[in-house]
Structure 1
Amino acid sequence: MRILYLLFPLLLLLAHSAAGSSLEPRDKKQCERENGYCGFLNCKFPFVIKGKCSRFFYCCKNLWG
């Protein structure tokens, strides 16, 4: 029973870090690996923003797939 007060915060910490993970691309390599490209501030029509490549570049992926 003494270990429960240590186990509970550990479980909360693990749940908190898992909730923050995202499947969006976070860099240029990951964006290109997922068939996207990095566009400056916006994307052309058939593409939508799906993540970030860097500060001003966004990962653009095709709207239809």
Structure 2
Amino acid sequence: MRILYLLFPFFLLLLQGAAGSTLAIRNKKECERQKGFCGFLKCPFPFIIKGKCSRFFFCCKK
């Protein structure tokens, strides 16, 4: 019975992480529609990675 108390919070954290993963940008059109651009392997300084355009290109946004 004690293991249920440990498994329940772990299960909730697992579900919470999986829910947000579907909102990531997954292609070039979606990236550009959200006012971003595709950068090769990394983004320049003021921008951060918000998703993937393709295998080696990442969506960069401020």
The alignment's TM-score, normalised by the length of structure 1, stands at 0.63
| Aligned length, in residue pairs | 46
What CA RMSD, in Å, does the superposition of the two structures yield over aligned residues?
A: 1.9
- Asked whether 1:26 is paired with 2:26, we answer yes
State the one-letter code of the partner of 1:36: G
* Cα distance in structure 2, aligned partners of 1:47 and 1:20: 21
How is 1:1-65 mapped onto 2 (pairs within 5 angstroms)? 19=19, 22-62=22-62
Which of structures 1 and 2 has the bigger CA Rg?
1
- Report deviation, 1:28: 0.1
For residues 17-63 of structure 1, what are the alpha-carbon distances to aligned partners after superposition, in whole Å with 9 as ceiling and x for unaligned?
Answer: x837521110000000001000000000110001000000000001x
Structure 1 runs, 4 residues or longer, greater than 6 Å off: none
Structure 2 gaps, min length 5:
1-14
* Identity level (%): 70
Provide closer, same or farther for how the CA distance between residues 45 and 20 of structure 1 changes in structure 2, counting only shifts above 3 A. Answer: closer
Structure 1 gaps, min length 5:
1-14
